Amino acid sequence: MKYLLALYDDEKQWMSLSEEEMGEVFAAYGAYSEALEEAGAFVSGEPLEPTHIGQRFRTKDGRLVVQDGPFSDTKEQLGGYYLIEAPDLDAALDWAAKCPCASYGVVEVRPVWEM
């Protein structure tokens, strides 16, 4: 079964890291991605650009409305994701616990609705 690991963290904290600290974080994610691949659990995953670059679209009163980011004053923002293959929720939760984001942010685990 597929699971989405949605990675939430504080963009402001990320932007305040030194180049060396960013390198350490990238290395941790590289090792994590490699472990997922070696286990055959990796399907896909990408980091996302900061929220101020994003846009939302919705229909209001019959008109398309575009809202530029950032979208809300929350502590954490969606910073990236992994789509993984796992035999069950417990295995997906084990992978989420190993994700670098789990040590400083939030990892939301959602089963993919297979239709």
CATH number of the domain that 46 lies in?
3.30.70.1060
Which residue segment(s) compose the domain that 82 sits in? 2-111
Query: What is the pLDDT, as a whole number, of residue 23?
Result: 96
Q: Sorting pLDDT into bands at 50, 70 and 90, what band is 52? A: confident
CA distance 80 to 7: 5
Q: How many residues does the chain have?
A: 115
Host H or E run for residue 8: strand 2-9
Domains: count for the chain: 1
Q: Is the pLDDT of residue 73 over 80?
A: no
Beta-bridged to residue 107, according to DSSP, are 7
- Ordered alpha helix ranges (H), the chain: 11-15, 19-38, 89-98
Helix (H, G, I), strand (E, B) or coil at 22: helix
What share of the chain has pLDDT > 70, as a percent? 95
Q: Are 70 and 55 in contact (CB under 8 A)?
A: no
- HSE-up (13 A, CA, CB side) for residue 29: 16
Q: How far out from the chain centre does Cα 103 lie?
A: 13
